[in-house]
Structure 1
Amino acid sequence: MIRRFDRFCCIDWSGATGAFQPGIAVAICEKDGPPALIAPSARHWSREEVSRWLLAQDGMLVGFDFSASLPFADHGAFFPGWPESPADARALWASIDRMAAHEPHLGVSAIVDHAEIARHFRRHGGRTGDRFGRGIGRLRVTERAAQAMGLAPSSSFNLVGAAQVGKASLAGMRLLHRLDGRIPVWPFDPVPASGPLIVEIYTSLAARAAGVARGRSKLRDGETLDTALAALRSPPHAALIDYDDHRTDALLGAAWLRRAASDPLLWHPSALTPSLARTEGWTFGIG
């Protein structure tokens, strides 16, 4: 038996520096009808406003496009060789939030410049830590599973290039620590019988499910977006004044989450063990 949600939300997240983020977009859809953007109180969302908005919601399944944890299973630790490496995801969130506590707007510069932790990151200026690993860097088990599906996930330890997700994920972990105990996060928490629930999603997976060709997952016009929405059996969206891939990712992601949430197999991926549910977590939608 799986829970039925009344509303579905996708939040396109950002780890950029600053109070207000053009890269954050929030979209929701009901059980029926088209997805729609939620407007921030100012011109752009802040990460703090996203947090406040979430705490005011009820009965909603919320998908964030950041990694909720870091690789652990490959070396039995987030930061192997460091005695202070956190033991599980919640301890990781708390540690990151504590080390960056002086930074406003859920910033994470102190994390990526931390003497020990920086050894695990690939940073700008050709600075690759001696513990970054080979190739694209360390991946979680769910990211390896995404690769097997033909997707191209990035390591959260990579902070360089257009595909980097590291800073957004670290900022997201600060958010999850602030929400801990108030909004459950799957699979670290069981699915509650009522109230909101957060899951990690991969917007490229939503685009793939909507029939968008690989390498063209960033939609930037209304006609292409409506074609993708139709493939997910969603009505067309209300036309926007401006289009960018943040807004279209959020709209398409909300429609995909509505459809995917009814698939019981996605709530029970075969490779998700109790250990992974405590440490690395999982990307909803990856089988």
Structure 2
Amino acid sequence: MAGSPSTAVFVPPHARDDQVRMRHAHAAAARMFKVTPTGPDVWGWQGRTLGRRAGQWWLRLVCAPEDKLNRRLWEGTTTAHHALPPAVPRPRLHDVLEWSAHGHAYRAELSEYVPLPALQSGGPVLTTDPDLPSVWWADLRLALEATSSVLTDRQAVRQQWVDKNLTRFLGIPAFQIESWTTGHGDLHWANLTGAPLVILDWEGWGLIPVGFDVGLLHAYSLTRPVTAARVRQEFAHVLDTPAGRAGELVALAQLLQVAARGGHPDLAPHLARHAEHLTGTPVPLP
């Protein structure tokens, strides 16, 4: 299931020199790990990451300018590996390498290869309704509940962001988040496989408002009303509570911020309509 050209954000870097640099760094990591990549290139958000299959392994390279390194994201995969319980279905991390060169920091992560495809490719916005059995939804609920039991001081969402941005993107007064939980932090369809469920890409995990993860998943489903309705049905016990509603509003505000920067143009009007439905207030114009 490929994203349309207007929604694809998992793409190579715009500059060809950056593509070559990333491929050379990935090849160097493969040599250091003594593995042989054979799978196609899989690029992450705007070419920030590059992954390839290497036999029984998945070799993922992350790159950032040395002076703009986000340590929380940089170390997220490793901290998730050590902190999350076995009940959370995810690829297991095998080894990590880090180095710097010419102003760029690199991190190579060797994880077990997951043979199941993600439910969405090209970007996080759902483009086709997946046919998922009830057991898949039950497994997702159990995985998020198990994640919520993890104690951490990692912040995936900050109250300061809510204070600064909620009025700007939703047109409502900022509010204090009363209920926090541990979550994935980037729960969308490109980070989920079909049955049996595996949850991918844990680099952004940490404390989130209750309702944020499933609010994100629902928001990324808004272009597919049948699936969006299923998300709300399966997670009504979260989204239909005051705490869950608050977390969902924060998720919508974050995605509206992405839309204001030109991201997810096909999703943006759906986000605005749903936010107004929840708050009764029109979303401010960009």
Greater strand percent: which structure?
2
Higher helix share: 2
Report if TM-score (shorter chain) is over 0.5: no
Structure whose CA Rg is larger: 2
Q: Higher relative contact order at CA 8 Å, sep ≥6: structure 1 or structure 2? A: 1
TM-score by length of 2: 0.28
